[in-house]
Chain A
Amino acid sequence: MVDMAELSAMHGSQASAQRMKKRRSAELRLQIYGILAITLAGAALVALLWSVVFKAAGALTETYVTLPVTLSAQELDPDGTGDPAVIGRADYGGFVKDLLKETFPSVTDRKARREMYDVVSAGAGFELRSKLQDDPSLIGEQIDYPFLASDVTDLYLKGSFGRLLPQPHSGNLSVIPSEDGKTAQILTSSNDFAAALSKVKLELIDQARGLRRQAAMQDAGVREFERRAANATSDEVRTENANQAISRATERDRLIALAEELEGRAASAGGTEQLTRTAPTVLVRVDQGWVKLTEINATGGVGRVVLPIEQTDALPADDWKMYLTDLPENARKISDNQIVLIEDLMARGAVETVFNTRFFSAGDSREPELAGLWGAIVGSFWTMLVTFLLAFPIGVGAAIYLEEFAPKNKLTDFIEVNINNLAAVPSIVFGLLGLAVFLGFFGVPRSSPLAGGIVLALMTLPTIIIASRAAIRAVPPSIRDAALGIGASRLQTSFHHVLPLAMPGILTGTIIGMAQALGETAPLIMIGMVAFIVDIPTGVTDSATVLPVQVFRWSDFPERAFEARTAAAICVLLVFLVIMNALAVFLRKRFERRW
């Protein structure tokens, strides 16, 4: 007999309610862990896609600088032959540089000139050449030609190097250029530069903080050497350590004095500050003229003339402008001179940003602004073609044999185990196989889509075989029995009845395998598809690269503009993968039959 009173006490008591609460909260905890896990996975996916798509936006547009250009026959085609070969021999790089020199005659300094040349892409001259080779009649004419801007210009316009911030001002401006016109004195009637000055002073405080940190390190050194000196066993060591401590202490005191001086300067109102490369740049603009300040006080300062400026007296506030950069010059890839030139070109209406068709039509290049993805897309196409032509028939054939014909024996078992293990072999090992066997032994051309296709075919083979076998096994035996019953041979049964019914499943598996192969990188690196290839491949034996390898290559380059292009290449790759997977899902939904 169960004692009912005891039982009800067990279920209704305080203790049991607590037990129940604990059990329920354990249940809740498990659910929360589950939700947390899924949320984390989702967050990772979103972060991944977001970081790629966000970065890719920068590669969607490219910039052109349109300049009027006189295509002098004397320079480009002295004999007036009109022969493309002769036209092609002219020095177009020099031609573009001369054009820039004419556009900005005031830029004479060597370094400034080199910076000026970098505003336009190194490939701009080649483009002009091919345009003239196509149409020699242009020679001798004056045209407006759009020169491709360099990656630095492009990134500046996209805001990657900070922006020019217009500063409010109210006073009248006076500019007094020096005699040689290289520097100029700036003066305003009100304290228009006070805000900029205080920003520069913030910079001083930052520097002072850095100095104090160094001083603290020196101080730690002092104490350490003092301790060593105190513990030293011989006089020699003691003096050496004591000397070290003394030299550190002097250094510490020097740094602290410097820091104090900077802080004093920062704290005092007014005064004059030098503008170095670590301080934000202050620019003053009057019409076409630009001055970069090198010394600043509350009412003006002294500056270097970047583009010639005229002497003015009491220019009203509306007629001049003052800018501050949000990054100091040493924190960006673009110099102040280049910013001024680009801003000047923009004011002339010469700068134009258009959709980047080049990215989808050009081959690879070492210059980011010239680099395109088309070579990799075509390479991927050829590689996938080879992969499909090999992997599909072999995979389906193997699946048919194993499902429909194979006798149950050791060999068949061995083949099955083999296929399963092959599916788990790291992809890089397939690359080594390709390197040793197909490149080394069979002499397949290195870097070619043929070699890549063979390796990827072997790699996707297990996927295709396993999927095809599942699809064939799903066809009910009654179909086979019916076909055999009316006198079909086993081969006829397989090819005429089983295979058509299994085809949707086989194709789905094949597409998924091909999608894997399309995203595979490591084995292709092993067989040399990572080489720098400019030409678009025209066949399976040409040197080529593929989309994921292109992503890998570009991600390795130091130029910042390649980052956006890498992300854009990833987006293109992902679009192809999404299309393939959508096709697989569609096939499965539309044609798959449940028996």
Chain B
Amino acid sequence: MLGIATLLILGIAMAFLVLSRNRAVALAGGQLSALHSRPSYHGLYSFLWASLVGVGVLLVLSLAGGYFMQATLMAQIAGLMPDAPQIERELVLSDAAALSSGGIPSRVDEVREAVAARFGTLEAVRLWGSALLAIAAALGTGYYTYLQVSTTWRARNRSERIVRLILLVAAVIAVLTTLGIVLSLIFETLNFFNNIGWRIDKFLFGTRWSPLSGVHSGEMDPDKVGAIPLFVGTFLITLIAMLVAVPIGLFAAIYLADFASPRVRAWAKPMLEILAGVPTVVYGFFAAITVAPFIRGTGESLGLSVASESALAAGVVMGIMIIPFISSLSDDVINAVPQSLRDGSYGLGATKAETIRQVVLPAALPGIVSAVLLGISRAVGETMIVVMAAGQGANLTVNPLEAVTTVTVQIVMLITGDTEAAVAAGPAFTLGFTLFCVTLALNVVALRIVRKYRELYD
């Protein structure tokens, strides 16, 4: 319904585009230079106004209608079943929606049927009302702009201003996204802290994590929301990943930048790019099906007991994922060190290795450090590998052969678990907010380091 309405509005706008352009041509009377703006701009002006107003009205009315509907229906349900808790009322509402749209409700009873009937009428009013009003608005605006067409009408300047405004909105969407992230995370985080009585210290420094056990009517136990096991697990896996990725990535970058023949570069670079393009879920599968059993088998043949979801397996595979990231960023900064520095070093009699160690690497160090920091930020935020290959129980240990859990694993478990969304959202969003802050800080620091210590040679 709403999709058809949108298409209709666009059709109307197109029609006014043609109408206004033709009117401009007619007004010019064969001599186009009599017009201030070319006819197509008159058309564009009508099109922009008609479509923007139409779609805008449609969006606002259908959303506002939705809220109004929800509010009235919830009021009706509250009247019909005053003793039921909020969650059951919501269930009734979703069942009623299913009933009236021909879906399968969880139960059918009188209350649900009554609400479903009301739902049907309101929904019809909402859809038809917003569609008709929006189409009317598009028609009205289109006609108004059609009437405005004249030889002196500055259609080009006006439509260009609208287009520039649209472009600005596009650029601002990135800011709105950040704002949306921060607001949604903060809102739930504050809720959660409020829930545990503002014992933020318990969250940051507590060592027991099982937030959903012993939840009484939404109240959480501050002693069970200690996130230290998650932080330690995340740190452990990240450390293993960086121990794999930094040496391999850095040596590969040094070799490719200063030693490799063009032929080696020609296949080694695409190889690293392929490694970078493999989806993380594939790495997760690799870690869970191939690497973890391999590490477990090797450990057992050496007489060590290795958990089947060991931190080592997840960390090593995550390291492999980050190799291309480190190597390509380091390759860039090593290549950015001017050739004159190298030539000077060679001229003093240094070998290639000495030049790299004593001239190139010091010059490229800020870039390499920032690459490593960005790599850490990726490892901390990586989800699929750890969800598939790391453990799920909060286990406070630094033994890489044991199963540990991470912040991202807990977010996924909380959100996809069976617990009521309203209860699980608190700890999940709080962990998400922590994650967001940590990665943001790492990025800012990485950029700072590059800005502050970058040597400018030109």
Contact = CB atoms under 8 A, between A and B. Distances in A.
Interface of A: 23-24, 26-27, 29-31, 33-38, 40-42, 44-45, 47-48, 51-52, 55, 393-398, 400-402, 405-406, 414-415, 418-422, 424-433, 435-437, 442-443, 458, 461-462, 465, 489, 491, 515, 518-522, 525-526, 530, 548-549, 551-552, 555-556, 563, 566-567, 570, 573-574, 577, 581
Interface in B154-172: 156, 160, 163-164, 166-172
A38 B248 CA distance: 7
Given A23-B351, A34-B259, A522-B412, A41 B275 contact: yes
Contact of B286 (A26, A52, A443, A521): A52
Nearest to B173: A394
A442 B181 CA distance: 15
Contact of B281 (A23, A462, A551): A551
Given A398-B167, A437-B180, 9 more contacts: A27-B352, A30-B353, A34-B254, A36-B251, A48-B320, A425-B436, A432-B411, A443-B66, A551-B285
A581 B163 CA distance: 32
Nearest to B327: A41
Contact of B381 (A405, A427, A436): A427
B23 to A, nearest CB: 22
Contacts of A425: 181, 381, 436, 439-440
B432 interface: yes
10 contacts: A30-B353, A31-B353, A42-B268, A48-B278, A51-B286, A397-B171, A415-B174, A424-B440, A429-B381, A437-B180
Contacts of A52: 282, 285-286
Contacts of A461: 173-174, 177
B50 interface: no
A45 B327 CA distance: 15
B222 to A, nearest CB: 23
Contacts, number: 255
Given A37-B249, A426-B436, A461-B173, A418 B178 contact: yes
Nearest to A401: B167
A41 B384 contact: no
Interface stretch (B75-83, B127-135, B184-192): B184-192
A398 B384 contact: no
Interface in B194-251: 247-251
Contact of B351 (A26, A44, A525, A530): A26
Given A394-B173, A461-B174, A491-B164, A37 B248 contact: yes
B271 interface: yes
A428 B381 contact: yes
Interface string B280-294: 111111101110000
B388 A555 contact: yes
A30 B257 CA distance: 13
B35 to A, nearest CB: 15
A40 B268 CA distance: 11
Contacts of B357: 30
Contacts of A548: 279, 281, 384
Contacts of A51: 286, 289-290
Given A398-B167, A530-B416, A38 B289 contact: no
Given A27-B353, A400-B167, A442-B63, A573 B282 contact: yes
B323 A555 contact: no
B252 A41 contact: yes
Contact of A398 (B171, B248, B382): B171
Contacts of B377: 424
Interface in B399-446: 408, 411-412, 415-416, 425, 428-429, 432, 435-436, 439-440, 443-444
